[in-house]
């Protein structure tokens, strides 16, 4: 049995190094947290409450609250597009190579003026089981 430690780096090393299944979980959690943070940042930059953003996109404040929760893992591309549109932005999905596990989707809410072309990958991205 490993020695008990309070060293965060050691704990993370024990939990994730050499364990591809745990690394996938960590990367998935990181992606969900990044999406939540982007939604929150956009709302705060515009000086909106969750209720005001919900009104703009035609949903309930509780939905916005969930979308801003880093632990929420069921982000809908359609809802992200509605939120992006409320801020004059678009959703950009890219697939980047990971050295250890293959490709992973990345989501970014981009300024629509910077977009050269918009594409929806809703039907192309396989749903997680």
Q: Can you tell me whether residue 60 is helix, strand or coil?
A: coil
Instruction: Annotate 63-83 with b (16+ C-beta within 10 A) or e (fewer).
Output: bbebbbeeeeeebeeebbbeb
97 by Cβ neighbours in 10 Å (0-12 / 13-18 / 19+) ranks as exposed
For the chain, which residues make up each domain, given as ranges? 8-87
Cα 84 to Cα 110: distance, rounded to the nearest angstrom: 8
* pTM given for the model: 0.65
| Helix/strand/coil for 49 | coil
pLDDT tens by residue, the chain, 129 residues: 668 878 787 777 777 777 777 778 888 888 999 999 999 999 999 999 999 999 999 999 999 999 999 999 898 999 999 999 999 999 998 888 775 544 445 556 666 433 322 333 333 333 443
Residue 79's H or E segment, with its range, is: helix 77-86
| Domain 8-87 = CATH 1.25.40.10 | no
């Amino acid at each position: 049995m490993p020695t008990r430690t309070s060293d965060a780096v050691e704990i993370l090393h024990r939990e994730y190094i050499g364990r591809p299944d745990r690394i996938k979980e960590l990367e998935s959690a990181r992606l969900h947290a990044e999406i939540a943070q982007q939604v929150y940042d956009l709302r705060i930059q515009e000086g909106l409450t969750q209720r005001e953003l919900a009104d703009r996109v035609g949903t309930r404040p509780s939905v916005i609250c969930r979308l801003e929760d880093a632990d929420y893992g069921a982000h809908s591309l359609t809802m992200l597009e509605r939120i992006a549109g409320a801020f004059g932005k678009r959703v950009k999905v890219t697939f980047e190579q990971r050295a250890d596990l293959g490709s992973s989707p990345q989501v970014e809410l981009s300024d629509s003026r910077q977009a050269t072309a918009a594409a929806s990958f809703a039907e192309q991205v396989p749903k997680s089981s």
